[in-house]
Chains A and B, each alone.
Chain A
Amino acid sequence: GENVEQHPSTLSVQEGDSAVIKCTYSDSASNYFPWYKQELGKGPQLIIDIRSNVGEKKDQRIAVTLNKTAKHFSLHITETQPEDSAVYFCAASMSPKTSGSRLTFGEGTQLTVNP
């Protein structure tokens, strides 16, 4: 089955700096890669996603890049703010039209943005 590895497990940055979280996946059939933000006491919230036919996607201060050949994808947050502090999870799945949409998650990254 699919295996997703995520690094680093913890990341501390100063407000205004950039943060980068990296993930690798094992199954070349995976073609959908969402990123979730989980705040304390809450469920994961989708912040951005990318499909395998796209190399990069941006949404304001957040961007995701995908390298299918190397089987890795990254989350980039620019101009970080204290409210960005949370646990971030990457995930991978295959198209629901072929084999269902189960998500395989990484182990998470605790991001702390210091004022």
Chain B
Amino acid sequence: DAGVTQSPTHLIKTRGQQVTLRCSPKSGHDTVSWYQQALGQGPQFIFQYYEEEERQRGNFPDRFSGHQFPNYSSELNVNALLLGDSALYLCASSFARGGPQHFGDGTRLSIL
């Protein structure tokens, strides 16, 4: 039973560029949440997708956008990258009816 998988594992971009991160949820899960984890801090909620729609959003600018596909996988897009966007981006999946969120190992994004 595969857990949450994320790709790529590492990514280096420069300021102003755009990036797309991908996530496949744990088998059977229908809800995907994205978190940003800066070095030495706890994860911060970006947004959550269910039924291909954004259901909740944290305090992040609209440079951060997402998408969920019919197979429940998801993408996180960040435009006009800033140095402060350097972080570990975590995807978590769960059941919409309830239950714990399970995390992937994240994508380490570095902005030069």
Residues of chain A at the chain B interface (Cβ within 8 Å):
4, 6, 34, 36, 41-46, 49, 89, 91, 95-97, 100-108
A residues less than 8 Å from B4 (CB atoms): 43
- The answer to whether B105 touches A42 (Cβ under 8 A) is yes
Q: 9 closest pairs, A vs B, by CB?
A: A105-B42, A43-B103, A100-B56, A43-B105, A102-B45, A44-B103, A96-B98, A105-B43, A46-B100
A11 to chain B, nearest CB (A): 15
| Given A45-B103, A101-B101, A106 contacting B42 (CB threshold 8 A) | yes
Considering only residues 44-75 of chain B, those with a C-beta below 8 Å from chain A are: 44-45, 48, 55-56, 58
B39 to chain A, nearest CB (A): 11
Number of interface residues of B (CB under 8 A): 27
Query: Which residue of chain A has the shortest Cβ distance to B40 in the bound complex?
Result: A108
- The answer to whether A101 touches B90 (Cβ under 8 A) is no
Distance of A95 Cα from B35 Cα, bound (Å): 19
Choose one: B31, B35, B58, B102; the contact of A101 (CB below 8 Å).
B31
Distance of A105 Cα from B36 Cα, bound (Å): 11
Residues of chain B at the chain A interface (Cβ within 8 Å):
4, 31, 33, 35, 40-45, 48, 55-56, 58, 90, 92, 94, 96-98, 100-106
Distance of A97 Cα from B55 Cα, bound (Å): 12
Distance of A43 Cα from B107 Cα, bound (Å): 10
- The answer to whether B105 touches A102 (Cβ under 8 A) is no
Distance of A102 Cα from B94 Cα, bound (Å): 11
Query: Which residue of chain B has the shortest Cβ distance to A107 in the bound complex?
Result: B42
| Given A43-B106, A89-B42, A103 contacting B101 (CB threshold 8 A) | yes
A residues less than 8 Å from B101 (CB atoms): 34, 46, 101, 103
- The answer to whether B103 touches A36 (Cβ under 8 A) is yes
Distance of A49 Cα from B100 Cα, bound (Å): 8
